[in-house]
Amino acid sequence: MPGLSHQKTVVFCELLSTTLKSQLEQMPHLTTESEGLDKLITELKDLSSEQEALKGRSREVSRLRREVEQRSQVMRSRIIAQLQGKLGFKSETLLAFGIAPRKTRRRRATAPPEEQSSTGPKKNAAQDTPSSSSGA
């Protein structure tokens, strides 16, 4: 019975078994097959109930695993914060713990402060040109 769902297979086998039992007086050569079918139906039902129990257990284990993962993430964050506080955010020692240190920020090269004050602040080119709408 390929292509049938598990439930349909069980229902079909049970229907076949009950109908066959009523016809066993006329077809006694099918007695052993009828008994074998009954055993298989019982085994199918047992395995089905075991599968349902295992599905429930699997869901429970998955839920527990997610909870532990969340708790471990909180603990990991606490430890990382303490290590960064103790060693410094930019310390290369953090790499040994699997923590990427913060990168140092590169600044643009600027002129020394003395040169900036002697030249004065730069004016915007738009401020130097008179506007074309204000003249007559």
Q: How far apart are CA 80 and CA 88, in angstroms?
A: 11
In the chain, domain spans: 6-96
Q: How far apart are CA 84 and CA 90, in angstroms?
A: 8
- pLDDT recorded at residue 121: 57
Contacts of 116 (CB under 8 A, 6+ apart): 110
Q: How far apart are CA 2 and CA 59, in angstroms?
A: 28
H/E stretch holding 67 reads helix 31-87
- pLDDT recorded at residue 136: 44
- pLDDT recorded at residue 125: 53
* Low-confidence stretches of the chain (pLDDT beneath 70): 1-2, 111-136
CA distances (Å), origin 79, targets 71, 86, 95, 104, 129: 12, 11, 14, 22, 60
Residue among 106, 82, 104, 78 at smallest CA distance from 92: 104
